[in-house]
Every structure is written in C-alpha cells, then in structure tokens.
Amino acid sequence: MQQSLFKNIIHPFFRIWIKCTSYFFFEKVIVTGKDNIPSSGPVILACNHPDSFLDALLITAYYKRPIYYLARGDVFSSKFISSILHFLNIIPIYRKEEGVIHFPKNESTFTFCIEAFKENGTVLIFSEGGSENKWELRQLRKGTARLAYDAWHNIEIGTKLEILPVAIVYSAWMQLNTVANLTFIETITAKDIPDNIEHGLFLRKFNESLKNSLSQKCLIISRETHEELQKILTSFLIKNKRNGRILAAKAVENISNGSETIKEKTTLFANYLKTHNLQFYSPQPSLISFIIGVLIIPIVYILNFLPYYLCKYLTKQLTHLNEFYDSVLFCLLLFFYPIYLIGLFFIGLWLSHSLLFSVNLIILTLLTAKLNEWAKRNINCFINKEKMAIISVMLHEIFEKDSD
C-alpha cells in the first residue's frame, strides 16, 4: 500500500482547516489523555458515536497522524460519492441495517485495514455501530473486536497493534458553541486479552474490556429516575465547568443512587436550573465584562449574520433537525465561512482602498465570532447575578471541593 496523496499532502492542511473550524464552532474543546496516544505503530481508534461524522472530524483535529475512517456502507450510494469518500480515506463497513447481503463486502474492508496496519496506519472505527445524540454508551458491535483479533493474529502485525479507546462527550446537540470533551484513554494491547480462547469468547472479552474503558469517560443517564433533570444537570455542568464531565457523572449518580440528603440537594439544583432556564454560569459576573459583551453582540450580528444564519438555514432544510444536524452545520461552515471571509476582504478593499482596513476587518470578524458565546455568557450571568450566587452555594453543597 503506497502512501497516498491525501496522507502526504492534503491531510496536514485538512487537519489544520478542521481544527480552525472547531475553534469557532465549539465554545471550548477539552482534550485529555494525549499522553495515551501511541507515537508510532498501528492503531485502532475505538470511539463512541454520539454525533454522526462530527465525531470523526473532531478526532481528526486533535489526532496528528493520518486516519483511515470506517463508515456505514449505505453512504457509498454511487460511484461518484464512493470515489470522493475513498479519496478522503473513508472505507465502507456494512452493518445488518444495510442488509446481510452486503456482509461479504466487509472482507475487503478488513483486508484493507490489515494492510494499513502493516504500514503502521491508524483506523478509526465507531464501536457502537450507529450514531445517536445520547451521552450514554450503547451496546458495542463486534467489528472492532474482529479487526483487533485479525491484526493480533497476523504475523507481520502481531502485538504491535494498540487499541486506543476514545470517548467524546458534548454538552448539547443541534446548536453552536457547545463544549466538547475528547478523551484518549489508556490503550488496550494484545496482552490484555487472553489469546488462548476461541474466537467467539475473544470477541466478548474484548468488548467487555473496551466497554469498561469507554464507560469510565462516557455518561450513563438512568431512565428510571428523573431522566429530564439528569439531562439538564449534565448539559449545564459540561457547558460551564472545566471538570464538568466528572461533575455531571457524580450528579447523575447522586440523583439516582445518592443518599436522601444529597439526592434532594441535587434534585433541587436541577429544578432550579429548569425553572429559571439557566444555561450559563459564572461565579462572579462583572460589570466590565457585561459592558464589553453588550458592545460585542451587535458587531457579531453585523459581521457574521450572513454566513452563520445561511448555514443554519441550509442545515435545517437538509437534515430536518435529525442526528446529522451538527455534522452538516460544521461542514457547511467549514467550506462557506472561508469563502465569506475572502469576499468580505475584497469588499472592504473595494470600499476603503486600504489593505490594512481589510485585514483588520477580517480580524474583527473572526474575533467577534469567537467572543460571541463569551459575550452572551457575561451578559446573561450579570443580569442573573443573584441566581449565580445561589448556584455557587448549591454547587458547593453538592460537590464541595469538586466545584471549585
């Protein structure tokens, strides 16, 4: 397998482009576990799948090596689309949803992956199979386990292959400026799974190990007790706290299985957020930040209204608010926002006849686009500063030192 044009030339540029878009699409991306990423050798990225192909784009932005992506087979619906996807290193894998008649085609996909591993390549597979806008980890399919089994039993690959579990947790879906948590978990190696067991038992043991790794970094929402309140807590804490994913997991545990006292306090906190429709939190909202925010918002709308709202409108028409909404919106902004900036630059140059003015106009457009959520946060929190004080007390009572 020869190094492709995409891997050698396009991938570094594509990765930077995606990372820049991520910077403006998300309010914040919190990446942990970078030390767990193997510096060399073949790797399987085994990831949960909460948000369609946005998950793959996010991983691409923060995983420096080129990636081969396994994607559901039904998207390879035509030769034209198939050729584009293959150029982007996207390989089909067929599930039972696409029909068992397609299962034999997976043999060529697994063969391709094995050849990629021989050249120390990385393959991304979403181990749940399908995508759903949910925090909790769903049942794992057998594809990741089978791929690991085939690689570990290949003489040329053997124990060199490492499985890198990757957990993605978002604060919300179908909106801009969410917070994303991307966690690279400690690798699973051949020595972690017994190799002297029959194939079916190996697949089960592997999935148990992978599920245990991913479950520690994903969230489990109980459907038996206050499901809506758990979701409110989860979204709020991930959005507003640096360690929000950890606090959200504790809050979910509190409201489901905590003592009566802590359960009551956590439920009261969730109901308070719900009653007052509070999405932002700042422990000490300042007047200066409020004034700056008020000044920023009009500039945001003047300079960024056209690309953002056009992309949002097109996304709504294309997806009808299904699970592809965030992914399609991201891709539209990925392509249209740079075009808008180029057009804005030349309009500024035409009107002012000044290169400096046009450059500053683009800088101002980008700066206000990034500060939009910061401005909304500071305006909202200052207006609700009494409620922010109440939230601070509630957080301390529930989490004590963890809320600092």
- In tens, the pLDDT along 77-86 reads 777 777 777 7
Q: Delimit the domains of the chain by residue range.
A: 5-215, 227-278+387-403, 287-383
CA angle 299, 302, 307 (to 5 degrees): 120
Residues of the chain with pLDDT under 70: 1-8, 96-102, 401-404
Query: 């948000």: which residue's tokens?
Result: 51
Task: Tell me the β-bridge partners of 168.
Answer: 182
- In tens, the pLDDT along 221-244 reads 877 778 899 999 999 999 999 899
Torsion of CA 259, 136, 318, 16, to 10 degrees: 110
pLDDT of 71 reads 84
- Rounded-to-integer distance, Cα 56 and Cα 109, Å: 18
The CATH homologous superfamily for domain 5-215 is Glycerol-3-phosphate (1)-acyltransferase (3.40.1130.10)
Distances (CA, A) of 80 to 84, 90, 125, 144, 335: 6, 14, 23, 28, 20
pLDDT of 403 reads 45
Contact 141, 130 (CB under 8 A): no
pTM of the model: 0.91
- Rounded-to-integer distance, Cα 298 and Cα 300, Å: 5
- Rounded-to-integer distance, Cα 287 and Cα 51, Å: 37
Q: Please report, as a single letter, which amino acid is at residue 192.
A: D
Q: SS3 string of the chain?
A: CCCCHHHHHHHHHHHHHHHHHHHHHCCEEEEECHHHCCCCCCEEEEECCCCCCHHHHHHHHHCCCCCEEEEEHHHCCCHHHHHHHHHCCEEEECCHHHCHHHHHHHHHHHHHHHHHHHCCCEEEEECCCCCCCCCCCCCCCCHHHHHHHHHHCCCCCHHHCEEEEEEEEECCCCCCCCEEEEEECCCECHHHCCCCCCHHHHHHHHHHHHHHHHHCCCCCCCCCCCHHHHHHHHHHHHHHCCCHHHHHHHHHHHHHHCCHHHHHHHHHHHHHHHHHCCCCCCCCCCHHHHHHHHHHHHHHHHHHHHHHHHHHHHHHHHHCCCCCHHHHHHHHHHHHHHHHHHHHHHHHHHHHCCHHHHHHHHHHHHHHHHHHHHHHHHHHHHHCHHHHHHHHHHHHHHHHHHHC
